Amino acid sequence: MSTKDNPTIETTGFKLTVTRIINAPCEKVFRAWTEPGQLAQWFSPAEVELRNFKADVKIGGAFRIHYTGKRGEFIASGNYQEIVLNRRLKFSWTWDHNAMPDSVVTVDFEDLGKTTRLTLRHEGLPDQEDADQHAHGWTSMVEKIAQLIEQNNIKLELSRVFDAPRELVFKAWTDANQFKQWFGASACDGGSLQSAKVDVRVGGKYRLQVRRADGEFFTTVGTYREVKAPERLVFTWAFEKDGSGDEYGEVEPPEMLVTLEFKARGKQTELILTHEKFASVESRDRHEQGWIRCLDSLGKFVGK
């Protein structure tokens, strides 16, 4: 049976195997299993909330996961027994309410070029009921990690030619006073730019606070990763959870990435905008409409 679109499951002798082909290179899939920030985004079954996740990903290191769901709150824990970069993870697995001293999970990552075959084996389960329940949970989580990784490849590309030299177009993005003039006019359909903090240097931050007509705030924050005048500008892109305050606030995932390339075309400038790492196609499509409004406004500003 093909495992490309849906995971296959086997439960035999109080153990289980889940296999799934993920459309991403092996290194990326392995990182999603070993970086705590990424693990916290997907390491819970459907209809179960992950309240807290702590992991020390090294041989002998421990992890502890606090789940909550319709049946109450549960704590899972274990220790990493084997870590082979981009090839295998092996760890013990038990519950505070249901000790399973012989329970071990092995995850193998098979490099298929641009895709990865992930095989998860969970052995040492107490009985068939536990095997069936864990099969349901692991299948759900494997599907979540596949969706998370594959959706991280969702990106938006836009190109626009402006009747202005690229030094002028680049400055419109990097001079705080100029940026506020054209971005404020297009910040949000039916909204207005309340404040803009722009520190354009590698490692510098920005904060763009937009208030919609209904009073709701959408505040974008990020860090400049690359500033190469007048050719290239790269910065992260994320939203604050609240966004209504005057200072930088807590950010909600995912953190996206925006790359601007400024190409001289005689007396004109071609701007190529790439926005990547969207959480969903719907999010990409919403951003596309917003960026089109921004580029329309920028065109009017540099064309004065």
Give the lowest-confidence range in 56-65, 107-116, 186-195: 186-195
User: Looking at residue 46, what is its pLDDT?
Assistant: 84
Q: Can you tell me the distance from the alpha carbon of 23 to that of 239, in angstroms, rounded to the nearest whole number?
A: 27
47-51, 76-80, 145-149, 208-212, range with greatest mean pLDDT = 76-80
Alpha helices, DSSP H only, in the chain?
Answer: 26-34, 36-42, 128-151, 166-174, 176-184, 281-302
Give pLDDT, residue 21.
95
DSSP state of 17: E
CB 243 within 8 A of CB 218: yes
Average pLDDT, the chain: 89
Is pLDDT at 95 greater than 80 in this prediction?
A: yes
Share of the chain above pLDDT 90, in %: 63
Which pTM was predicted? 0.55
Mean pLDDT of 193-221: 90
Do the two domains 8-151 and 155-302 of this chain adopt the same fold?
yes
Hey, where are the domains in the chain? 8-151, 155-302
Mean pLDDT of 141-168: 89
Structure tokens at 21: 């082909």
Whether pLDDT at 213 is above 80: no
Please state, in angstroms and rounded to a whole number, the distance separating the CA atoms of residues 242 and 213. Answer: 17
Least confident of 54-58, 125-129, 245-249: 245-249
Sign of CA dihedral 171, 176, 177, 180: positive
Q: Would you say 256 and 239 are in contact if contact means Cβ atoms under 8 Å apart?
A: no
- Report the distance separating Cα 245 and Cα 268, nearest Å: 39
User: pLDDT at residue 22 above 50?
Assistant: yes
Confidence of residue 279 (pLDDT cuts 50, 70, 90): confident
pLDDT at 81 over 80: yes
pLDDT of residue 296: 93
Q: Say how far apart CA 205 and CA 200 lie, in whole Å.
A: 7
The answer to whether the Cα torsion of 8, 253, 289, 24 is positive or negative is: negative
Mean pLDDT of 149-166: 87
pLDDT over threshold 70, residue 42: yes
Q: Which residue has the tokens 């991403």?
A: 24
- Let me know: does 104 contact 120? Beta carbons within 8 Å: no
Interval 62-90 mean pLDDT? 95
Q: Is the predicted pLDDT of residue 110 greater than 90, yes or no?
A: yes
Residue 150 banded pLDDT, cuts 50, 70, 90: confident
pLDDT for residue 55 is more than 80: yes
Beta carbons within 10 angstroms of residue 72's beta carbon: 8
Residue 253: both structure tokens together: 């995932």
Fold for the domain defined by 8-151:
Alpha-D-Glucose-1,6-Bisphosphate; Chain A, domain 4 (3.30.530)
Residue 8: per-residue pLDDT: 62
Mean pLDDT of 31-42: 88
Mean pLDDT for 259-269 is: 96
Q: How many CA atoms, within 13 angstroms, populate the side-chain half-sphere of residue 107? A: 23
| Domain 155-302 of CATH type 3.30.530.20 | yes
